[in-house]
Amino acid sequence: MGNYFDNSDLLSVLLKWKRQVIFIVALAAVFSSILSFLIPKKFKSEAVVYPANLQSYSSETETEQLLQLCNSKEVMDSVIKHCNLKEHYGIDESYKEYYSALINKYKENVSFSKTEFESVLIEVIDIDAQQACNIVKMIISMVNNKAETLQQEKSWEVVRVKQTQLTNKIHEIDSMEKALTELRVKYGLLSYDVQVEEVVKRYLKERVKPGYNPNTSSSKEMTLLLGSLKEKGGEFIALSENLEKERAFYNQIKFDYENALKDANKELTYTNVVTYPKVSDTKAYPIRWLIVLMFVLSTFMVDVIYILLIERYKFTTK
């Protein structure tokens, strides 16, 4: 006997069993059609968003950062809470694995993907078209809130660091100014270069005068000032130069502090919505014709295999 899996023999077997095949396939079509109408309708809402104002934390792109925010536990928990998905999904809190079941249901209905244009596609499927739209809107809102929280935490950390630096720098400047004040009051040092030039001129002028007397009050005053300039001049110059540098550092730190304070207090959005979510008026699932087709094809294939096995059994038992 020929092999029933050859094309010609397979066709003859199907013609032999055609009534049974047609009946079973028709029954499968009717059953799958009824079944497809029993499956709850699901509606899809989606949004396309671009990242904005996100600061880099590593080598990842802004789009990848936005995806991380969308998939974060904080965003997911916030969406579940604000959209009351616990009741909407009908998951009993007394169930032992209640939270895992809730998260799995959420992930089953919500998806995020990166598009070829470096945007993020947010898709939500739900039995309620309005709820699907609301969930998408809530996700965008919670992502903005999470991004703002991260940004402000980072900015306030910089503010605190700069504030500490400012305080330390003020103390350093105060110490230097106090030391310079002491040199001015105690040793009469006001401006080293100018004073040296003037004192030397006066000293030389006095020395060349007839009847020069080093014991006069004027000569003693010049001699004392020259001594102070020699003894404390280097210290005075060093303090003056360092004070100037520290004031420049202080101004830069203050500038950074003010910018960080502005960043911490400003309100930004971190998503640019290109496609806004809408309430769908057509179902996305189930696709009834596809369900019927797949069910009928599967039934047909199983039916054919079963018939071939029967024919083979008949042949071997003759």
> Strands 120-126, 110-114: parallel, antiparallel or unpaired by DSSP?
antiparallel
Whether 179 has a pLDDT exceeding 60, the answer reads yes
Q: Per mean pLDDT, which range of 47-56, 86-95, 226-235, 270-279 is the poorest?
A: 226-235
More confidently predicted of 309 and 216: 309
Q: Per mean pLDDT, which range of 29-43, 102-116, 156-170 is the poorest?
A: 29-43
Whether 220 has a pLDDT exceeding 90, the answer reads no
Mean pLDDT of all residues belonging to the chain: 80
**pLDDT band at residue 94 using 50, 70 and 90 as cut-offs:** confident
**Can you give the residue ranges of every domain in the chain?**
177-265
**Global pTM?**
0.63
Please give the Cα distance from 132 to 47 (Å, whole number): 11
Which pLDDT does position 4 carry in this prediction? 44
- Tens of pLDDT, residue by residue over 203-213, are 555 555 555 55
Which pLDDT does position 9 carry in this prediction? 67
- Tens of pLDDT, residue by residue over 20-50, are 878 888 888 888 777 767 677 788 999 999 9
SS3 content of the chain, % helix, strand, coil (to 5): 70, 10, 20
Angle, CA of 193, 197 and 201, to the nearest 5°: 170
Which pLDDT does position 2 carry in this prediction? 47
